[in-house]
Structure 1
Amino acid sequence: MTATIVTIFLVVYLGMILGGLPFLQLDRTGVALLGAIALISVDAVGLEEAAGSIHLPTVILLFSFMVVSAQMRLGGFYDWVTHRFVSLSFSPPGLLGALIFGVAALSAIFSNDIVCLAVAPVLIDACQRRRLEPMPYLLALACASNIGSAATLIGNPQNMLIGQTLHMPFFAYVGEAMVPVTFGLLATWALITWQVKGRWSAPASAAGTFDEAARRTDEVPLDRWQTTKGLAVAAVLLVAFLVGPWPREHVALIGAGVLLMSRKMHSTRTLGLVDWELLILFMALFVVNHALQQSGVTAAVIADLAAAGLHLDQLAPLFGATFALSNLVSNVPAVMLLLPLAHHEMAGPLLALVSSLSGNLFIVGSIANIIVVDAAARRNIGIDWRRHATVGVPVTLVTLAISAVYLALRVHFGASGG
């Protein structure tokens, strides 16, 4: 049975690497789900055991904030904010800075994927109106959304998983993450500004690419009531997370329920923006990883690596493993694999920061990157892997270096502040 479990696990994670399986119409979610089904089918995991292996608080928290973020998108909040940013009478570098920090703030509270989905088309049209080259702003949008999502335990799915599993205090983590995130955003602005070398204006040939019909189709007008309702619920949730004794998933689920009770916005519209595939991916990977851990293979591999001098529960090897696995199998599966090794008091912040920041390396490292690239393609703006890498690679290396230095200083001077 152990050989069967290991084989299924390896096939699933091969699918995570490839984004699917050869000759089959499966994406990562389909591969993970098929793996969980196979494990149940061969009695490697019982039905009740499979259900029990799913970390329900994380799934509930993720679902709840998908509802909150969907509310903000349907209320036109993201479109309105984007228009406000690009209408500022800033110089192009100043506008880039405002965009980077604004997107980061949104991504720290709402889903970075939905933020990019809503902001990208509006940003492109606004840049074309101002005759600005949209490329640096689009790359900044992708990078800032990933960096900003690292600032809180609700900024992205893997951070939610880390926070819920390790029972990390919300405010304490924000305090840890704020320094590397802030310096990372400043470094991102400096790197992109340096690469542009003053060439901010779009070529004259690009002036005719503005598509007014596409703009009207994509743009969501501001609904002040729905936006206020969403912001109020988000604010209450943040306050509850900071000072309340209640479980985060309970409070978040109540907030989602409040938003779904609407006289004007049908629940099908809100639930239609929930990323059900991501939720299924989470649940299936919980089952697959649980089966491997129960087989004893994981413990044996960790012991063998430790005997060879590689102690993955120590911060430096954990840092490297998180970076490598996040780019190999993507950040959520990587975090699921490494969470059992998070014994050090700084392991939680390390996992959250490194897995989030690693997403900027290549286009496929983050769903947010893919969303921005797809939005650009629909406006006839090509961002291939080479163009993305010219920004993504240095941004990733610099932000990870900043995080490494910060974490090293925190450990050296005492994680508890001593």
Structure 2
Amino acid sequence: MSLVRRVGAFAAAEPVLSILVVALLALQIFAPRPLSTLPALVDWQTVMTLAGLLVLTKAIEYSGLLTWLAHRLVHHVHSERGLALLLVALAAALSTIVTNDVALFVVVPLVLSLHQLAPLPLKRLVIVIALGVNAGSVLTPLGNPQNLFLWQVSGVSFTRFVLRLAPLCAFLMAMLAVLSVCLFKTRALDLSKDATPQRVDRTLAVVAAALFGAFVLLADAHHAGIALAGVGAGFLIWRPRIVLKIDWLLLLIFVLMFIVLRSVAALPWIHHALASLSLQTPMRAFAAGAVLSQAISNVPAAIVLAGFTHDWRALAFGVSVGGFGVAIGSLANLIAVRLSGERGVWLPFHLISVPFWIAAFFGGALLLHLF
């Protein structure tokens, strides 16, 4: 394969990374900055916290604990609607502790395996699961990358962050429960044939869970570097494959996001345009986050807008709501559909997700005003 084809294949496989690289090159050509100043644009606390979480969630994933738990739970449902509600709840719960993408890597393959046992409305299930991880991940700083970034920027404690985002998460989950009841019938299902043995590496699961708690406590105390050094070194010695298998490209994407987006935001005309929005008021910060996410996704929206408002909660509300609507609003949407392998899912996805975004927008605005 020629070099051009290889580059093209890589760009197709990693479009976000490719766009960021091209954007960085364009910025250095038309609005150059000294290369020595670029690292200062990166929020390294966020990157180190993300790196540590990637190692720990990969360890939990490799232990098989989450897959074992998921298969155990589905044996307790006997209807299509019950399965949908359980899968949404499971996806949302997992996303609060192991990030929304890891939750998808557990729940979507589970649905695919169950589909081999009994005919399921696969497209609708994938759609509500994608909405579920977006809704559940709102609750904690660990749920998604934008929350992780805003938690580090805000300087508030883990507990305070959760309490401040809890009303929005509860509202979104209530909406999703109603939606699931409307979309799925009470048709009986027989999933008793799901008897595939699920092995669990108990030692790895226990160690990963214990280190997960310790890592969060250290990150909460703004010692992410120390926590990452301990977790990284420990697993490199004990289970090096876990460290080698984490999503290194995601870390690179985050570093480039900070550099590119903050460089773009610093361009005079962009800075003036964003400053003119007067995002210091909570409602404007919320609306900007919810709307901008529809164009550039919620993680970049959080990074861009964080420099123009001090109201981290309003921005967190906005970019959380922004994960719904069009598919690009959250990368979790793209991951869910990609894992499902289903064709023709984008139209039904948007027929459900866009009205959900509109309702979430007005509900989130009301909650921001009340609380």
Q: TM-score, normalised by structure 2?
A: 0.86
What amino acid is aligned across from residue 46 of structure 1 in structure 2? P
Show structure 1 runs of 5+ residues with no match: 1-20, 411-418
Aligned: 1:251 with 2:212: no
2:283 pairs with 313, 316, 326, which one? Answer: 316
1:366 pairs with 323, 327, 330, which one? Answer: 330
Shift in alpha-carbon separation, 1:357–1:258, aligned structure 2, 3 A: farther
What amino acid is aligned across from residue 283 of structure 1 in structure 2? V
- Hey, what's the Cα distance between the residues in 2 that align with 1:295 and 1:80? 50
Kept after mapping to 2: 8 A contact 1:335/1:355: yes
Give the superposition deviation at 1:131.
Answer: 4.4
Report the equivalent of 1:222.
200
Report the equivalent of 2:5.
none
- Hey, what's the Cα distance between the residues in 2 that align with 1:178 and 1:361? 21
Q: Could you say what secondary structure the match of 1:150 adopts?
A: coil
| CA deviations over 1:98-146 (Å, ceiling 9, x no partner) | 3222221211111211221232112221244254433433222211111
Aligned: 1:114 with 2:106: no
- Hey, what's the Cα distance between the residues in 2 that align with 1:319 and 1:157? 18
- Hey, what's the Cα distance between the residues in 2 that align with 1:187 and 1:294? 38
Shift in alpha-carbon separation, 1:362–1:257, aligned structure 2, 3 A: farther
Aligned: 1:48 with 2:48: no
Structure-to-structure mapping, 1:373-392, within 5 angstroms = 373-377=337-341, 381-392=342-353
Report the equivalent of 1:12.
none
What amino acid is aligned across from residue 163 of structure 2 in structure 1? G
Kept after mapping to 2: 8 A contact 1:359/1:366: yes
Kept after mapping to 1: 8 A contact 2:41/2:258: yes
Q: Could you say what secondary structure the match of 1:129 adopts?
A: coil
Kept after mapping to 1: 8 A contact 2:321/2:364: no
Structure-to-structure mapping, 1:83-232, within 5 angstroms = 83-89=71-77, 91-198=79-186, 221-232=199-210
Kept after mapping to 1: 8 A contact 2:138/2:169: yes
Show structure 2 runs of 5+ residues with no match: 1-7
Report the equivalent of 1:336.
303
Report the equivalent of 1:275.
247
- Hey, what's the Cα distance between the residues in 1 that align with 2:122 and 2:75? 15
| CA deviations over 1:334-371 (Å, ceiling 9, x no partner) | 1111001222xxx2122223213322323333222222
For the aligned residue pairs, the C-alpha RMSD in angstroms reads: 3.0
Q: Report percent identity of matched pairs.
A: 24
Aligned: 1:350 with 2:314: yes
- Hey, what's the Cα distance between the residues in 2 that align with 1:220 and 1:253? 32
- Hey, what's the Cα distance between the residues in 1 that align with 2:359 and 2:334? 21
What amino acid is aligned across from residue 34 of structure 2 in structure 1? G
- Hey, what's the Cα distance between the residues in 1 that align with 2:360 and 2:78? 26
Give the superposition deviation at 1:151.
Answer: 0.8
- Hey, what's the Cα distance between the residues in 2 that align with 1:189 and 1:383? 24
How many residues end up aligned between the 2 structures? 361
Report the equivalent of 2:214.
236
Q: Could you say what secondary structure the match of 1:360 adopts?
A: coil
Shift in alpha-carbon separation, 1:199–1:249, aligned structure 2, 3 A: farther
Aligned: 1:393 with 2:354: yes
- Hey, what's the Cα distance between the residues in 2 that align with 1:181 and 1:372? 20
Report the equivalent of 1:405.
366
- Hey, what's the Cα distance between the residues in 2 that align with 1:394 and 1:401? 11
Q: Which range is displaced more, 33-42 or 158-167?
A: 33-42
Shift in alpha-carbon separation, 1:76–1:270, aligned structure 2, 3 A: farther
Kept after mapping to 1: 8 A contact 2:56/2:208: yes
Q: Could you say what secondary structure the match of 1:155 adopts?
A: coil
Give the superposition deviation at 1:175.
Answer: 0.2
Shift in alpha-carbon separation, 1:105–1:370, aligned structure 2, 3 A: same
| CA deviations over 1:25-49 (Å, ceiling 9, x no partner) | 6722122123324444677211210
Kept after mapping to 1: 8 A contact 2:327/2:333: yes
- Hey, what's the Cα distance between the residues in 2 that align with 1:196 and 1:94? 9
Kept after mapping to 2: 8 A contact 1:44/1:291: no
- Hey, what's the Cα distance between the residues in 1 that align with 2:259 and 2:216? 30
Q: TM-score, normalised by structure 1?
A: 0.77
Shift in alpha-carbon separation, 1:358–1:294, aligned structure 2, 3 A: closer
Shift in alpha-carbon separation, 1:144–1:386, aligned structure 2, 3 A: same
Kept after mapping to 1: 8 A contact 2:232/2:243: no
Shift in alpha-carbon separation, 1:259–1:190, aligned structure 2, 3 A: farther
Kept after mapping to 1: 8 A contact 2:81/2:185: no
| CA deviations over 1:277-334 (Å, ceiling 9, x no partner) | 222222222222333454433442245x3xxxx4233222222221121110111211
Shift in alpha-carbon separation, 1:41–1:276, aligned structure 2, 3 A: farther
